[in-house]
Structure 1
């Protein structure tokens, strides 16, 4: 195929309401309000040869409009460029706004563009993205999170867990970190009883314990043979995570809130976790995620990417060590396709690229859109 060029970039801000307000420990400790919507930034990149790549980033609670505004400032730099040169294009976009930093909101805005470029590249090769990168497997172990929030009554959590397992999902994660530790204990005991001793179970404290509480709860949780304890401490408490990982037999997982490769490197170098949980839209896209995955593998860490299963399924499939991918059904209304789960695993689709097509519902939820080039 001859050299192609980018003809246009369409950016869209999409506001997806959630069916019910969601609360985790951050809400119960008064740090955040319940989550009622997810704001997404979509990038659709069209080439002169008529191919299109789709990527997205997102914000839970504040920040979505800012991501969209930032992307509008820099995305025009892609028009006329060769879409195959992804690392070079990423650097160009990064330095266009480097005065406001190379992590956080700025690079999260770039992530949608970067992911769209990778989707386009895989479509040019007529390959699923996992195959373009180099897959180690055609399916990935999967666990459900969306059914285990603290805002859901315990009986509902138990019903959600049973329903997820019946749907072919392999593990269950529930939220903990309630201000009353007795509530956490009751919920963990009840869910373990519901799913049985052999079903993988994880818990997620969403950064709401201090070091003594995390150690106390971690020791109590040892009896349940958890796959991991997630975000027991503040995301930036590297030393606290290292101490906890050393003290407990249960693996420690963290990383989803970090917004750059450099921030993850601190965790890796300190051996502060057993399982790394990067989020491609948060660290700047697939280009940055792949750099981080190489470092994590070199350090011998397990991988369990956060959220956005439509993207992370492909990236997890390309990780050398057997990973996990998080099953969240929140974004289902935005896409025509559905990811398949079977016997505890999520199957990598055989469609080219990410294998996603934006739905009419997604178009209807678009709050604003702009076309650059064309």
Structure 2
């Protein structure tokens, strides 16, 4: 008989940001400034003494729903072989089938699925990237957290320079304000400050209609951007396809899509140059790998969204050299830090994800639940 799952422990944490941040959704009145990240953690223990860690997250709302769903289905893992990840994924899906296969339901499963992959890699004594079959030991990295709209342009420029001096390879800034001229002014200032050879991206956070996005794209062609991110509503696959066909600058999107079929539609329509799946949002490592295989078949670049702590492994295992997004907001939740040098983020050499929860986590704990021997 193989190893068996003996315990499942869930936690809901609210990790505060050092400073509130605002993107175009705030500038257009659709959301309030972001002040914290809510995180759902899942720790899975086994007979063999292994413990795997996975997590999901939300911004502003939804983590209580994830936590509640995870509590309802977690005991389906007890007594099962943790190596049977595909079968257990299906088991958890069917346990909550009445609420569907996307959104909060699968994002709750994502924490357990990622923990199971962590167990498997720890058992092998390998980093997750190596277990999957790494193509490289380090991946390209760009910074987003310094480019939000609440910051004056001089601060954005200063933080961009600091990021580059610290080994970051590219800079992304937020656009999508009601006044497009202000976006263009800020963008030109950053391009001049960091130089024409530094990779530069922009992110409009879904705030344009199709004509506005086209006008912006044509206005910035000469700046040599790596991509224009989320120019349209996340679910407007046809609009993104039209935009991608009309512009030389690649389109990037996909981070908000919470189900495999929606991401596959972007691939099928050739709507992106850079696909941006998010492991917690799409439902875990298992569905992410399905999307990544299809993206590679379509010869697309992949730039997974946020959670660099997970995505550094998946980007390293993708055949095409990927970008990983550097946002340090979750760093206080973990003891370890990722190494960055020469424009690249190194894959940790520790087994699994290479993460352990920090002692400080208790400051931010809102709720927890234990099943099996963890009770």
TM class, shorter-length: over 0.9
Superposed CA deviations along residues 290-322 of structure 1, whole A, max 9, x for unmatched, are 011000000111000000000000000000011
Query: Structure 2 regions of 5+ residues with no counterpart?
Result: none
Query: How far did residue 365 of structure 1 move?
Result: 1.2
1:248 aligned residue: 247
> Could you tell me how far apart the structure 1 residues matched to 2:260 and 2:324 are?
19
> Could you tell me how far apart the structure 1 residues matched to 2:94 and 2:150 are?
41
* Secondary structure of residue in 2 paired with 1:363: helix
Deviation >6 Å, runs of 4+? none
Q: Counterparts in 2 of 1:55-66, with a 5 A limit?
A: 55-66=54-65
Query: Structure 1 regions of 5+ residues with no counterpart?
Result: none
2:66 aligned residue: 67
2:345 is aligned with 1:314:
no
2:285 is aligned with 1:286:
yes
Superposed CA deviations along residues 83-121 of structure 1, whole A, max 9, x for unmatched, are 000000000000111111100110000000000000010
> Could you tell me how far apart the structure 1 residues matched to 2:140 and 2:36 are?
27
TM-score scaled by length of structure 2: 0.99
Q: Counterparts in 2 of 1:214-229, with a 5 A limit?
A: 214-229=213-228
* Secondary structure of residue in 2 paired with 1:161: helix
> Could you tell me how far apart the structure 2 residues matched to 1:183 and 1:329 are?
27
2:323 aligned residue: 324
2:352 aligned residue: 353
> Could you tell me how far apart the structure 1 residues matched to 2:363 and 2:43 are?
16
2:274 aligned residue: 275
> Could you tell me how far apart the structure 2 residues matched to 1:160 and 1:101 are?
42
> Could you tell me how far apart the structure 1 residues matched to 2:40 and 2:150 are?
27
Query: How far did residue 223 of structure 1 move?
Result: 1.0
CA RMSD of aligned residues (A): 0.7
Superposed CA deviations along residues 186-237 of structure 1, whole A, max 9, x for unmatched, are 1101110111010000000000000010000000110100000000000011
2:132 aligned residue: 133
> Could you tell me how far apart the structure 2 residues matched to 1:66 and 1:102 are?
14
2:259 is aligned with 1:260:
yes
Query: How far did residue 362 of structure 1 move?
Result: 1.5
Query: How far did residue 149 of structure 1 move?
Result: 0.5
> Could you tell me how far apart the structure 1 residues matched to 2:79 and 2:271 are?
43
Between Structure 1 and Structure 2, how many residues are aligned? Answer: 373
2:78 aligned residue: 79
2:39 is aligned with 1:45:
no
Query: How far did residue 363 of structure 1 move?
Result: 2.6
Query: How far did residue 20 of structure 1 move?
Result: 1.2
Superposed CA deviations along residues 112-170 of structure 1, whole A, max 9, x for unmatched, are 00000000100000000000000000000000001100111111111110010011000
> Could you tell me how far apart the structure 1 residues matched to 2:211 and 2:360 are?
46
> Could you tell me how far apart the structure 2 residues matched to 1:167 and 1:241 are?
34
Query: How far did residue 364 of structure 1 move?
Result: 2.4
> Could you tell me how far apart the structure 1 residues matched to 2:302 and 2:134 are?
15
* Secondary structure of residue in 2 paired with 1:119: helix
Q: Counterparts in 2 of 1:1-374, with a 5 A limit?
A: 3-374=2-373
